[in-house]
Structure 1
Amino acid sequence: MTLSTQSRPTAGAPTPAPAALPTPAPPRTRRRRPRIVANTVAVLFCLVWVFPLYWMVNTAFKPADEVTTMTPIWLPLHPTFENFTRALTQDGFLVYLRNSTIVVVAAVLLSIVVGFLASAALSRFRFRGRRAILVAILFVQMIPSGALLIPLFLSFQTLGLLNSYVGLILAYVASVLPFSIWVMRGFFVSVPVEIEEAAKVDGAGTFRILWSVLFPLVMPGVIATSVFAFIAAWNDYLIAYVMLKDQGMYTLPVWLAGFSTNKGTDFGGLMAASVLFSIPVVVFFLIVQRRLVSGMTAGAVKG
C-alpha cells in the first residue's frame, strides 16, 4: 500500500488567497493635460478681456503728462481726481444723465411688459401663423442692428417720432424685443399646463393666472431680458445720435463723444467719464448676476 505524496493542508492553517490581477493605473497625465490647456486658454481670455478695463481705470487717475507719454506707465505715478472732476463738471452732464435714466427705465419696463405678454401668447395659445411669427422673430434677431437703422429712421420720420423720448424708447424696445420674446417663451413652455388648469378650477381668470401663477415662475427669464435691455439701451450711441437732433435730449453715450473735439481728445477726462458711465451697469449686473446666469441657461435649452 503506497501513501499519496500530495500535500494536504493541515488543520487550522490559513488557505492562501488567489493572486489578484494588477489593476491598470488611471491615465492621470491624459486627464491633466486637457485641464491645463483649458485653464491656460481661460486665463489668457480673461487677461485679454480685463486689460482694456484695467487700462481705462489706470488712465482715469493719471495726470495729463502721464497720459500722453510715449512710454507706457502701468500705474499712475501721481494719482489725481482731476479727470473725474472735469468729467462731472462738464456742461450738460446732469441733463444727459436724466435723459439716459428716463429712456433706459422706460425701455426696460416696456420691453418686459410687451415681451411677457407676447411670449405668453406664443407659448399658450394656438392660432394660425404662430410658427411663422416665431420664425420671423428669430430671423429679425439675426439681422444686424445697423442694417435696420435706416428703415427705422424713415419710419419714425413719417410718424413724427424723431427727436423725442417716445421715438428713442420705441427704437430700443424694437431692438431688444425679439431676444426678450424668444428667451421668455422658453420659460413659459417649461411650465406645466396642469398648473394653469388648477388655477382655473380655483376660479382664477386669465390675467390673474398671468400675474399670480406664471409671472413668478418665469421670473428668471424676466430678469435676464431686463438686464439685456438695460445694457443695450444704456450703452447705445448710434441710435440716439441718429434719432435725436436737439443736444438737450442727448444721452450719456453721446455725451462721451464730446470729449473728442477739433482741438484734440481729452483722454484723461474721457477715461474718467467712461468709468463713471460703466458703474451703473456693473452694479446692476452684480445685483442680478445669479438670476441672470440661471435664467439664460434655463431659457436657452427649452422651448
Structure 2
Amino acid sequence: MNVSVIQSSAVRARRGWGKGPTSRIIYYVVCSVLAILFLFPLIWTALMTLKSPGEAAAVPPTFLPSHISWTSYVQVFGAGIFGYLANSTVVVLMTVLIVAILSVLGGYGFSRFSFPGKNIIFVLILVTLMIPFQSILTPLFLLLHFIGLDNTLLGLSLVYVTFQLPVAIFLLRNSFDNVPRELEEAALIDGCSSWQLLWRVMLPVVFPGIVTAVLFAFFNTWNEFLAALIFITDNDKYTLPVYLVNLESGLYGQVNLGALYAGLMITIIPCIVIFLLLQRYYINGLIAGSVKA
C-alpha cells in the first residue's frame, strides 16, 4: 500500500475521533474516573469531620460515619479559629495587593520599554526562583528585625511577596507581549500617555493574566506554613496553617484528627470559592501568560 494512502487514512482517523458514540462514552468515562480520583480526598476529609473524635481516630478508618457528629466543628470554633482566619486574610490581602501592583508595573516595563540591562535584570529575577526558601531564613529574619517588621503581619506578607513576585512578573510580561503592537500604536495616536495606555487599554486585555498571578499568590500565601511559624512569635498573630498544627496536638501528644479535618475544611472553602469564581480568567491567563506568542 502506498505510504501517502496510509498517512491520509491516519489523518482522517484522527479527525474522526470524538465524533462517534463510542469515543464519547470513553471520553466521559475517563473524565468521570479522573474527577472521582481528584475529589476523593476532599470527600474523605468532609466525611471525617462528621465523625465523633473516637471514630475519626479509629484504626482502620471507616469511610462513612456511623452517625453525624458536629463535635469537631465545635472544637474548632471553640479554639478561636476566627482570629487566625482574620490573620491569614490580612496577610493574603496585603500580599496579593502588592504582588498585583508590582507585577503589572514590572511586566509592563519589561514588555514595552527598552533600557540598559533589561534582559539581565529579568533573568536575575527568574534566578531567585531557584533559591531554596529554607536557605535564607536567617538573613530574612535578621533583615525584618533590622527594619522593625519582625513578628508583624506586614513583615510576613513582604516575605511572601519576595517569593511570589518573580512568577507574577514572568506571567504578566508574557501576557503583555501577547497584546498586538497595533493596539498600542492606535492608543498612542489617539493621544494616550503611557499611564493611560496601561490603565485604559492594556489592563482590560491582560486581566486574565493578572487574575492568574493573583490566584498563584493567594493559594501559596494562604497555605504557607514555614514562614508563618518562623517569622511570627506571638500566638495571637499566627495564620491558619500554624493554628491547624497546634490544634492537631492534644493532651500528651494525642492527635485530634476530627478537629484537624474540620479546620482543613474551613481552610479549603475560600480556595474553592475563589477558584470557581475566577476559573475562566485563570485558565485563559495561564495559557496566554505562560506561552509567548
Q: Deviation at 1:59? A: 0.9
Percentage identity across aligned positions?
A: 37
Letter in 2 for 1:50: L
More helix by share: 2
How many Å separate the matches in 2 of 1:45 and 1:143? 34
Match of 2:283 in 1: 293
Q: Deviation at 1:40? A: 8.5
Aligned mate of 1:147, from 135, 156, 165: 135
Aligned mate of 2:164, from 157, 176, 196: 176
Match of 1:273 in 2: 263
Q: Deviation at 1:137? A: 2.0
Q: Deviation at 1:219? A: 0.3
SS of residue matched to 2:59: coil
Match of 1:203 in 2: 191
Match of 2:68 in 1: 79
SS of residue matched to 1:302: coil
Letter in 2 for 1:191: V
Letter in 2 for 1:71: P
Summarize the alignment of residues 85-124 of structure 1 with structure 2, pairs less than 5 Å apart.
85-90=74-79, 92-124=80-112
Deviates more, 1:44-53 or 1:286-295: 44-53
Q: Is the 8 A contact 2:57 2:256 kept in 1?
A: no
TM-score (structure 1 length as normaliser): 0.83
SS of residue matched to 2:212: helix
Unaligned runs of 5+ in 1: 1-23
How many Å separate the matches in 2 of 1:169 and 1:68? 36
Deviates more, 1:225-234 or 1:148-157: 148-157
Q: Is the 8 A contact 2:99 2:161 kept in 1?
A: yes
Matching of residue 229 in structure 1 with residue 217 in structure 2: yes
Q: Deviation at 1:203? A: 2.0
Deviates more, 1:153-162 or 1:228-237: 153-162
Letter in 1 for 2:78: T
Deviations 1:168-221 (A, max 9, x none): 111111111001000010111111223222222222222111110111111000
Q: Deviation at 1:36? A: 10
Match of 1:4 in 2: none
How many Å separate the matches in 2 of 1:154 and 1:44? 50
SS of residue matched to 1:163: coil
Summarize the alignment of residues 236-251 of structure 1 with structure 2, pairs less than 5 Å apart.
236-251=224-239
The structure-2 alpha-carbon separation of the partners of 1:27 and 1:266, relative to structure 1 and needing over 3 Å to count, comes to same
Letter in 2 for 1:103: V
Q: Deviation at 1:135? A: 1.2
Q: Is the 8 A contact 2:57 2:258 kept in 1?
A: no
Letter in 1 for 2:86: R
TM-score (structure 2 length as normaliser): 0.85
The structure-2 alpha-carbon separation of the partners of 1:130 and 1:36, relative to structure 1 and needing over 3 Å to count, comes to farther
Q: Deviation at 1:263? A: 3.6
Letter in 2 for 1:287: L
Bigger Rg over Cα: 1
Q: Deviation at 1:41? A: 8.0
Unaligned runs of 5+ in 2: 1-8
Match of 1:189 in 2: 177
SS of residue matched to 2:69: coil
Deviations 1:2-47 (A, max 9, x none): xxxxxxxxxxxxxxxxxxxxxx89879xx89x99999998777655
Q: Is the 8 A contact 2:156 2:228 kept in 1?
A: yes
Letter in 1 for 2:123: V
Letter in 2 for 1:85: V
Deviations 1:67-95 (A, max 9, x none): 122233111111111211211121x3222
Q: Deviation at 1:65? A: 2.5
Q: Across the two proteins, how many residue pairs are aligned to each other?
A: 277
Q: Deviation at 1:294? A: 1.0
